[in-house]
Structure 1
Amino acid sequence: MSVGEFRVADVVREASLQLSVVAGRGGLDRRVRSAHVSELPDPTDWLRGGELLMTTGMSVEAAGGPDAYMRALGDAGVAAVALGLGSTLTYQRTPRDWVSAADRLDLPLIEVPARTPFIAVTDVVYRRLTAMRNEDAEQTIRAQQVLAGLALRPGGVAAVAGGLATEAGLRVVVTDLRGTVLAAAPEGAEAIRDDVAGELARVGDGGMRASARCTGAHGDVMVQPLGADQLRGLLVCADPSGLGVHQRMLIGSAVALLSAELEHVHARQEAERSRRSAAVLELVTGTHDRAAASALLSSIGLPEDALRVAVVPGGALELADGLPAGAAARVESDLVLLLPGPEGLAEMMPGRVVGLSGPVRQDTLPLGLRQARVALWLARRNGPGVYDADDRPSLQLLLHLGPPEVLRAYADGVFGAIDALPQTRREELMRTLWTWMGMDCSYGRTAAQLGIHRHTLRERLQKVEELTGRRLASWELGAVWVALMAREAADSLDAR
């Protein structure tokens, strides 16, 4: 719709023209977009719809009669037919078959008396259309000024959305890139978002150059991107009766105002994100006593005790925006989060692998970072999910927290004599030892797994005892197991 619409009934009411409606009164509400004179048997190739078509009817019989003529005009979207009458023209009064044809189609048929030239009708139509377009433009300018004023108020996004809904008679929804509703007007307009979820996704994927328009349960719907250089949000506007020029112009103004406001919001969020990120980086990589760490945590609204550290490989800072509590920083190539607990973490990181520390004090957050990375490494062969250090075997976790050179030195002290053997023999003994311990020291299952005789297995394990100086049937077995785990931990730490 537009601010004002010129309809067939408005033309007929123009007293100076002295027009009369003789048929098709059910169509008097049709919108008139132009006036056109034609004496062609079939003028439809020159029509666009919405015309007040004026004719003397001289070629109607060549078109197959009034019924065929009227039907063709109706199919072309003509608003009304004005038949000129006069003693020197084709008809002095409107024929009955014209009236019948117009009534069947509810296509208004208007008599134009001899004293009213077609040019007078054309002049009235175009003067009225011009006046209404000027009125549309003036009202659009006034509405744009209202929207500009609303954009300067606190809560500019909601204010502009509400103003657009009021001034343009629209249902309006503004969302962020996750689909969260930032503003909606009037009440209940949020329902539009679900109706056009596919269009929202397409525009979101297409970025700043994308837009969409569709017809759905809420009528004529338009989706526009919001932002300057980067997409910051989406604007959805709907009108059951169709979006007119006035509305589309106001939508364009609202897009500019909302984009500017979302850029301001983004800039403020970036500044706050940078401040919080700097605090997190200092907490997880620096050394602080409890008082200093507590002050830093307080500055970003986090508690002092029982914090969790999470690591998301390759994650961007924006991933943390949806977390209900917490702060984030980029540490090397990873996203590191400080959280009061793990609640909501898995839902906010779908499809990602996340390492999570156990609860740590404010002055031991660097240890929490190492725990989270260890949990991440130990889960490296698994799929997406949150891997909690509290759920990992304690020995594995402790070993991965140690410096790799210390772990390797301990393992080398136990296995040094085996390492000095030729490669084939060395690998044979180490594979046998790993398999035997992995089979809970069962000779039968180990021999079956390796495909060797039990006597061969015993000979190999005796050789391990001889070379390591540790008896595998005593408490010294624990030292051998720790050495195996220490070597694996050192290798994994070096690989990182």
Structure 2
Amino acid sequence: MDAAAEHGRDARWTAETLRRLARAGRTEFDFSSIVSVLSAAAQTPVCVIDTRGSFLASTPSRAEWDADEILTRTAEIVGDGLVVHPLIVEGETVAFLSARLDHDPGGVCQFAADLISMYLSRMNARLEGKRELVAQVLEDFFAARLPEEDAARRLAEIGIDPGTDHRVICGIVDAPPERLRSFPWNLHTLVGSGRDPYIRALIDGNVVLVVPAAAPARVIAEVAHERLTRLGQDPRVGIGNVFKGLSGLRLSYYHARTSAVSSPGISDGMHLNLGSLLLLANLDLPLKTLSDEVLAPLVEYDAQNHGDLVLTLATFLRLDCSSQRTAAELFVHRNTLRYRLTQIESLTGRSLSSFQNKMHFWVAVIGSGAQAEPQADYLESLHALDPDIHTPTIRPEARS
């Protein structure tokens, strides 16, 4: 066959292969057909592998591949019996298309890679739309703008079982919200069920994940931190504790967010700190729920032992942490007061010698409504000293 005939055959083969690839690319929820068409046309094994070395598609299915050999080719490289093209979604390389060829005949491999990239981008856009709806529900829930029954129903609609305990993981990084919103977080989500493995949304510019209590939170946080590292400097991830019920899920969100703000890297196991929460400048916090959680060990102790630890703490703070004045008002010996304060420190894990902890407990006492009358007198005395002094805003339900 002369050169012209050979060229004509190659041109017809290229045109037919491109046509078949384009037709396969119109398949809505599967890109493996593109891999199969390319493999059959080029009569060679073809695969798609993600950036972590997991094979997402391979034809033939039993073909042997060296993941390291593919992943070390960080750009489009042809040669040594291997063609590799990156798959791009929102400017990020998320995977590679590889074929065992010495060259890319007619650019069909590049065309196949472009089709798969378009498919993944389309799936990513669909997920982005779903996450917008999830974010609206979570924002309303965390801000306590939903009645309890409505909250349970709407959470169930977005995939959160109200009867199961969850925790929240919060990621913070200096990156544009648009970038955080469109970043291809999980490739397997795009090629699998089309659903995020865990509920994820962008709230107040932060990446928020809601995961079951039994999920490996530290592992999930490490993956989140790695993703955020690709988006900006000094990424921070906070892991919220697991608390019971719907109010506990809300509490876990503020715990995770405070942890992320307070410490670099990945933070978990941190105590709640109401002072830090107020510094977030969110005066719509569910302050009573947060405060009740802080005082819970003392309330439980008082109930079981007929004690007065909450009264003691509230009085101690109201009287400017004066042991002498507190003992006199409570009609107890100073040694008794000292013993109670030691119990408070032991049960809560916080030292009353720390100014930050005193502020923490002071906000908790106010938010819980403990000792309402002395508290009101205390706030009035503060305003008498300085009319412009700022005190936390408490929603009406927090005083009930």
Do these two structures clear the TM 0.5 threshold for a shared fold by scoring above it?
yes
Query: Aligned partner of 2:82: which letter?
Result: V
- Aligned to 2:57, what secondary structure does the other structure show? strand
Cα deviation, 1:283-316, whole Å, max 9, x if unaligned, reads: 2223333321221122112211233232334155
Distance 2:257 2:98 in 1: 46
For 1:167, the equivalent position in structure 2 comes to: 41
For 1:359, the equivalent position in structure 2 comes to: 243
- Aligned to 1:347, what secondary structure does the other structure show? helix
For 2:117, the equivalent position in structure 1 comes to: 259
For 1:311, the equivalent position in structure 2 comes to: 169
Question: How far does residue 179 in structure 1 lie from its aligned partner after superposition?
Answer: 4.6
Shift of the 366–416 alpha-carbon distance from structure 1 to 2, 3 Å rule, reads: same
For 2:216, the equivalent position in structure 1 comes to: 344
Question: Quick one: which of 197, 212, 223 aligns to 2:77?
Answer: 212
1:420-459 aligned within 5 A? none
Shift of the 354–232 alpha-carbon distance from structure 1 to 2, 3 Å rule, reads: same
Question: How far does residue 178 in structure 1 lie from its aligned partner after superposition?
Answer: 4.8
Distance 1:476 1:395 in 2: 25
For 2:99, the equivalent position in structure 1 comes to: 238
Say if 2:261 is the partner of 1:387: no
Query: Aligned partner of 1:235: which letter?
Result: F
For 1:182, the equivalent position in structure 2 comes to: 56
- Aligned to 1:196, what secondary structure does the other structure show? helix
For 1:402, the equivalent position in structure 2 comes to: 291
Shift of the 411–384 alpha-carbon distance from structure 1 to 2, 3 Å rule, reads: farther
Distance 1:393 1:231 in 2: 36
For 2:87, the equivalent position in structure 1 comes to: 226
Shift of the 151–399 alpha-carbon distance from structure 1 to 2, 3 Å rule, reads: closer
1:308 and 1:356 in contact (8 A); partners too: no
Question: How far does residue 373 in structure 1 lie from its aligned partner after superposition?
Answer: 4.2
2:53 and 2:68 in contact (8 A); partners too: no
For 2:372, the equivalent position in structure 1 comes to: none
Distance 1:289 1:231 in 2: 41
1:355 and 1:375 in contact (8 A); partners too: yes
Question: How far does residue 478 in structure 1 lie from its aligned partner after superposition?
Answer: 2.7
Shift of the 393–274 alpha-carbon distance from structure 1 to 2, 3 Å rule, reads: closer
Cα deviation, 1:196-244, whole Å, max 9, x if unaligned, reads: 2322xxx3xxxxxx423453xxxx22221223652353333232xx424
Question: How far does residue 277 in structure 1 lie from its aligned partner after superposition?
Answer: 2.3
Distance 1:409 1:312 in 2: 32
Shift of the 333–192 alpha-carbon distance from structure 1 to 2, 3 Å rule, reads: same
Question: How far does residue 135 in structure 1 lie from its aligned partner after superposition?
Answer: 0.6
Query: Aligned partner of 2:48: which letter?
Result: V
Shift of the 249–148 alpha-carbon distance from structure 1 to 2, 3 Å rule, reads: same
1:327 and 1:339 in contact (8 A); partners too: yes
1:92-107 aligned within 5 A? none
- Aligned to 1:191, what secondary structure does the other structure show? coil
- Aligned to 2:335, what secondary structure does the other structure show? coil
Task: Give the number of the structure whose alpha-carbon radius of gyration is greater.
Answer: 1
2:171 and 2:238 in contact (8 A); partners too: yes
Query: Aligned partner of 2:99: which letter?
Result: A
Distance 2:255 2:353 in 1: 16
Question: How far does residue 271 in structure 1 lie from its aligned partner after superposition?
Answer: 1.3
Say if 2:356 is the partner of 1:488: yes
Cα deviation, 1:237-267, whole Å, max 9, x if unaligned, reads: 232xx42452x52112212222221221111
Say if 2:341 is the partner of 1:473: no
Question: How far does residue 486 in structure 1 lie from its aligned partner after superposition?
Answer: 8.2
- Aligned to 2:109, what secondary structure does the other structure show? helix
Shift of the 150–134 alpha-carbon distance from structure 1 to 2, 3 Å rule, reads: same
Query: Aligned partner of 1:474: which letter?
Result: T
2:327 and 2:334 in contact (8 A); partners too: no
Moved over 6 A (4+): 393-400, 406-411
Shift of the 373–244 alpha-carbon distance from structure 1 to 2, 3 Å rule, reads: closer
Query: Aligned partner of 1:367: which letter?
Result: L
Shift of the 355–472 alpha-carbon distance from structure 1 to 2, 3 Å rule, reads: farther
Question: How far does residue 143 in structure 1 lie from its aligned partner after superposition?
Answer: 1.1
1:360 and 1:368 in contact (8 A); partners too: no
Shift of the 214–243 alpha-carbon distance from structure 1 to 2, 3 Å rule, reads: closer
Distance 1:395 1:273 in 2: 29
Q: Which has the higher contact order (CA 8 A, sep 6+)?
A: 2
For 1:285, the equivalent position in structure 2 comes to: 143
1:355 and 1:372 in contact (8 A); partners too: yes
- Aligned to 1:402, what secondary structure does the other structure show? helix
Distance 1:402 1:152 in 2: 55
Distance 2:24 2:121 in 1: 16
Query: Aligned partner of 1:183: which letter?
Result: A
For 2:201, the equivalent position in structure 1 comes to: 329
Distance 1:244 1:214 in 2: 7
2:260 and 2:266 in contact (8 A); partners too: no
Question: Quick one: which of 295, 320, 325 aligns to 1:415?
Answer: 320
- Aligned to 1:349, what secondary structure does the other structure show? helix
Distance 1:250 1:137 in 2: 11
For 2:302, the equivalent position in structure 1 comes to: none
1:297 and 1:303 in contact (8 A); partners too: yes
Say if 2:59 is the partner of 1:197: no
Task: State the aligned residue count.
Answer: 298
Query: Aligned partner of 2:268: which letter?
Result: Y
Question: How far does residue 157 in structure 1 lie from its aligned partner after superposition?
Answer: 1.4
Cα deviation, 1:173-205, whole Å, max 9, x if unaligned, reads: 224455543322221347343432322xxx3xx
Query: Aligned partner of 1:169: which letter?
Result: Q
Shift of the 414–179 alpha-carbon distance from structure 1 to 2, 3 Å rule, reads: farther
For the aligned residue pairs, the C-alpha RMSD in angstroms reads 4.2
